[in-house]
Amino acid sequence: MIDSFLYDDKEIIVVTVPESRDKPVQCGEGFFLREGANSQKMRREEIFYYAQKTGKIRFENQFRTDFKYPVDFDETKFKELIKRIGITQTGGSEDILHNLGMGQLNGTFVINNAGILFFGKNRQLYLRQAYVTCVLYKGKDKVKILDRKDFREDPLTDYENAIKFLQQHLRLEYEIKGAGPRLEIPELPYEVLREGILNAIIHRDYMEEGARVMIEILMTG
């Protein structure tokens, strides 16, 4: 939008450029980030981070032509999961995966990272950072490890195994009132733990290699 007005007998032209809804915006010299009164040229890692933060790059949607489909695809695990969520398989696995947003069928089928997360037989070959580690320490200094488990199955199985690990090692208080059944009271509510682990698995940054979901218990007293 262009406006003009007179100031001190001179015509001032004001050009207003609306903020773009499709960021980042590239000019002839590259990408720039406005910081106060200055514009700084963005480095490669800054451009990548910005695109990721604004949802232009999504880890789960990235297609993996290096994945050996169907050799490394776990058909048994796939059938178990769709049965568990109530999907009746009437067509091929590729059609269901496409409808679930886990792959693309265009002549040949190409799976994405989401499909590998759930149905890769050896997903650590493709997603080394996609696992959950549970550790039980003695004391607060995290020197002596009493138990440790690394879970590398699929997000749902890793979640269930992490819950079992916590249930195994967290303290329980037993309460009996009258002739009623024994009531088990964990030191931390299981509902809170379930929500926390789900959020950690779902919302973690899978782009960051070498990272993982870490669950720690410090046993004191």
Kindly state whether residues 48 and 87 are assigned to the same domain. no
pLDDT digits (tens, 9 = 90+) for 199-219: 999 988 888 777 899 999 999
Domain that holds residue 158: 152-215
Least confidently predicted of 11-20, 118-127, 138-147, 197-206: 11-20
The band of 11, judged by pLDDT with boundaries at 50, 70 and 90, is: confident
Kindly state whether residues 170 and 211 are assigned to the same domain. yes
Kindly state whether residues 64 and 45 are assigned to the same domain. no
Q: What is the pLDDT of residue 69?
A: 94
Q: Is residue 131 part of a domain?
A: no
* Model confidence pTM above 0.85: no
Kindly state whether residues 43 and 29 are assigned to the same domain. yes
Kindly state whether residues 84 and 108 are assigned to the same domain. yes
Candidates 198, 139, 190; CA nearest to 164 is: 190
Q: Which helix (H) or strand (E) holds 8?
A: none
Q: Which residue has the higher pLDDT, 159 or 85?
A: 159
Kindly state whether residues 48 and 103 are assigned to the same domain. no
What CA–CA distance (Å, rounded) separates 26 from 12?
28
Classify residue 144 by burial, with Cβ atoms within 10 Å: 0-12, 13-18, 19+.
Answer: exposed
How many distinct structural domains can be found in the chain? 3
The band of 31, judged by pLDDT with boundaries at 50, 70 and 90, is: confident
Kindly state whether residues 19 and 53 are assigned to the same domain. yes
Q: Is residue 137 part of a domain?
A: no
Kindly state whether residues 119 and 82 are assigned to the same domain. yes
Q: Is residue 185 part of a domain?
A: yes
**For range 128-140, the mean pLDDT:** 94
Q: What is the pLDDT of residue 172?
A: 87
What CA–CA distance (Å, rounded) separates 162 from 132?
8
Q: Name the DSSP letter for residue 26.
A: E
Tokens of 41: 């040229």
DSSP 3-state of 217: strand
